[in-house]
A and B are shown apart, each in its own frame.
Chain A
């Protein structure tokens, strides 16, 4: 049930974020309007012809590149992170949905070693330092979400009337580097779960820091858990939730909750403290035991 609700939520989020179809019909290259001042809690390129909202990472880097403190973006990250942790990766991100759908295609499957998941923090540090030094959005230059959402549609469409010149005429080898990175992650997504989210996404890296603090979290009843690893086998982030319910990579997708035959895993919030039958356990959760 949770899986269906989540999939529906992912699709609706995608349709809500990328819904500027009018521009395609009227020849306007990208949306320019009031909602572009709001960032979404997921990687979503604002140069996508359909996008009505701004990308948090692109905006964050822009502020750093113009040497301004990104108060609004920092506050946004803090507020979303404190509320739901990394849940937006699992419930909102269109690029995450894309990778999940690719993984459904039958092919050779393998797991990425856990050590590689720490690479995203290196990417995050570079995405903070390099825009300040180079004065340009460094991560956007390599972002595969930007390639698939903005690069390919805009170059295929090439709205000369709206832009005044052809994008294809000023194409450089840089595009092929970006295209190569996208192909790399697409091929990887066929064989392993959410490779970009786990290894390279700086937005996921930021939200993961809040996973241990967030209001929404997972709870594992250790008295019921038999460590059968069914949860591990269905987890899109390949984590063992029973080892750490607040794992940095947990995207609160709820797949483990649905799959657990013992009913040992559930979502938890501070409101659980008001329910006497589970209140005692929840004190333990928020006492940072799990």
Chain B
């Protein structure tokens, strides 16, 4: 019996194709999750900056950075 006609070979090919399809699908899902995770991180970070702006973090940073830090200079 030739390989093409063999039911077991045909089953093997079908399983191979199914495997490739699953792998591609899996890759697409992983890529999607990666991009979605990245977008979530950017959104969360932007949200934190906006929250910081609302509670006065920028002013606090400016006030602190406008004074000489004695620890930085090396004086306790």
Contact = CB atoms under 8 A, between A and B. Distances in A.
B4 interface: no
* Chain B: number of interface residues, binned into ranges: 35 or more
A125 interface: no
Contacts of B41: 78, 82, 213
Interface string B41-66: 11011111111110101111110111
Nearest to A83: B42
Contact of A46 (B34, B53, B60, B65): B65
Interface of B is mostly: helix
Contacts of B35: 270, 286
Contacts of A146: 69, 71-74
Contacts of B31: 283, 286-287
Interface residues of A, number: 63
A46 B61 CA distance: 10
Given A62-B64, A63-B57, A70-B57, A79 B45 contact: yes
B76 interface: yes
A75 to B, nearest CB: 3
A147 B74 contact: yes
A47 B57 contact: no
A141 interface: yes
B37 interface: yes
B6 interface: no
Contact of A75 (B38, B46, B62, B65): B46
A288 B69 contact: no
Contacts of B42: 78-79, 82-83
B8 interface: no
Contacts of A63: 57, 60
A8 interface: no
Contacts of B64: 46, 54, 58-59, 62
Q: What are the nearest 6 A-B pairs in CB distance?
A: A72-B52, A75-B48, A78-B45, A175-B74, A71-B52, A75-B49
Given A75-B47, A287-B30, 15 more contacts: A29-B68, A34-B62, A36-B66, A62-B61, A62-B64, A68-B60, A71-B55, A77-B45, A82-B38, A151-B72, A171-B75, A172-B74, A215-B38, A286-B35, A288-B30
